[in-house]
């Protein structure tokens, strides 16, 4: 019985139901039936309309909301992101941007965290429930594992910069749609430009495929170095296994350790000699 309740709670959490609205359950169907009964009773006893009211002109129908096509949304995102000259301005532009439907379902924007002048930047796919509540990326179980991974090669969270391709949590932690990713991508690319790291780390297949234009799965992408175009120059980029994947597949931590050693070696090469 207890195991069934635990599984039910886990399912609720996965679907985005993470708060209790009231102490007692509500029969919404019964409430709807009662409302319909009251409405029907009101109609039965309502007086007939006055002749002058019946002849009054009807209000003009409301025009449907304008829905922009995908290419227009993406162009709007590019124009908005390109105008940001600082990370603070980029964040404000994202807050005002209405082209991504995830904004309506998320609790808040999850923009970025860490040193804005960091030499190393990590980018995941999208925030989860913990990130949505706190407004910071990688603060849940996966984020705690990421902190340990950084510490294993002598890095501190406060000395790197962390963000996501999509800055709003998808409902139920579902995968962002291609359109949701496309309209958020210009802001993420501008975020990378403004941080201007020496090394870009793509956490997981979605981040690597989106930012590096790769088609392979993460097992083929991980442990390889790529060139990421950054203005008129290029920076080193590497794909790594996402910490959330490592929580589900702890045996793969050996691969993550190999990639971390590659990262540490590259950091040593890119750092100025003392």
Q: How far apart are CA 72 and CA 164, in angstroms?
A: 23
Is residue 222 in a domain?
yes
Mean pLDDT of 188-210: 98
Model confidence at 231, pLDDT cuts 50, 70, 90, reads confident
* 3-state SS class at 114: strand
pLDDT attached to residue 70 = 87
Residues 6+ apart with CB under 8 A from 190: 81, 82, 84, 90
Return the residue matching tokens 């207890």: 2
**Cβ–Cβ under 8 Å, residues 220 and 241:** no
pLDDT attached to residue 269 = 82
* 3-state SS class at 198: coil
Beta-strand relationship, 120-124 and 199-203: parallel
| Residue 74 structural domain | 70-269
6-55 pLDDT tens trace? 666 665 665 555 555 455 665 645 654 665 555 455 444 445 555 544 44
Query: Residue 115 sits in a domain of what CATH number?
Result: 3.40.470.10
Number of structural domains found in the chain: 1
pTM for the structure as a whole: 0.76
pLDDT attached to residue 32 = 47
Q: How many residues does the chain have?
A: 274
More confident residue, 151 or 64: 151
* Token duo for residue 245: 């994947």
Residues 6+ apart with CB under 8 A from 120: 155, 159, 160, 161, 197, 198, 199, 201, 263, 267
Is residue 50 in a domain?
no
More confident residue, 90 or 8: 90
Mean pLDDT of 175-184: 97
pLDDT attached to residue 133 = 97
Is residue 59 in a domain?
no
120-161 pLDDT tens trace? 999 999 999 999 999 999 999 999 999 999 999 999 999 999
Mean pLDDT of 225-236: 94
Return the residue matching tokens 């209790």: 20
Residues 6+ apart with CB under 8 A from 222: 239, 240, 241, 255, 259
Is residue 48 in a domain?
no
Alpha carbon 153 to its chain's center: 27
Is residue 19 in a domain?
no
Mean pLDDT of 47-69: 53
The whole-chain average pLDDT of the chain stands at 85
Is residue 146 in a domain?
yes
- The kind and range of the H/E element at 193 are helix 178-195
Is residue 17 in a domain?
no
Sequence-ordered alpha helix ranges (H) in the chain: 2-14, 28-45, 51-55, 70-82, 87-96, 102-105, 129-134, 141-152, 178-195, 205-212, 218-221, 243-248, 253-270
Is residue 121 in a domain?
yes
């Amino acid at each position: 019985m207890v195991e069934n309740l635990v599984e039910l709670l886990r399912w609720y959490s996965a679907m985005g139901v993470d708060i209790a609205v009231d102490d007692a359950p509500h029969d919404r169907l019964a409430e709807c039936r009662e409302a319909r009964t009251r409405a029907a009773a009101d109609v039965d006893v309502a007086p007939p309309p006055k002749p002058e009211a019946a002849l009054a002109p009807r209000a003009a129908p409301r025009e449907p909301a304008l829905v922009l096509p995908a290419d227009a949304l993406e162009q709007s995102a590019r124009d908005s992101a390109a105008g940001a000259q600082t990370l603070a301005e980029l964040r404000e532009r994202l807050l005002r941007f209405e082209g991504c439907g995830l904004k309506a379902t998320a609790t808040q924007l999850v923009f970025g965290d860490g040193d804005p002048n960091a030499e190393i930047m990590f980018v995941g796919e999208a925030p989860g429930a913990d990130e949505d509540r706190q407004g910071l990326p990688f603060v849940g179980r996966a984020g705690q594992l990421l902190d340990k991974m950084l510490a294993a090669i002598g890095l501190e969270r406060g000395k790197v910069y962390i963000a996501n391709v999509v800055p709003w949590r998808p409902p139920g932690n579902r995968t962002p749609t291609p359109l949701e990713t496309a309209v958020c991508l210009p802001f993420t690319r501008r975020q990378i430009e403004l941080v201007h790291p020496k090394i870009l780390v793509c956490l997981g297949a979605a981040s690597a495929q989106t930012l590096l234009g790769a088609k392979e799965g993460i097992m083929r992408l991980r442990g390889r170095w790529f060139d990421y175009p950054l203005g008129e120059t290029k920076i080193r980029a590497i794909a790594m296994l996402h910490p959330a994947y490592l929580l589900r597949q702890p045996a793969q931590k050996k691969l993550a350790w190999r990639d971390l050693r590659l990262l540490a070696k590259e950091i040593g090469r890119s750092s100025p000699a003392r």
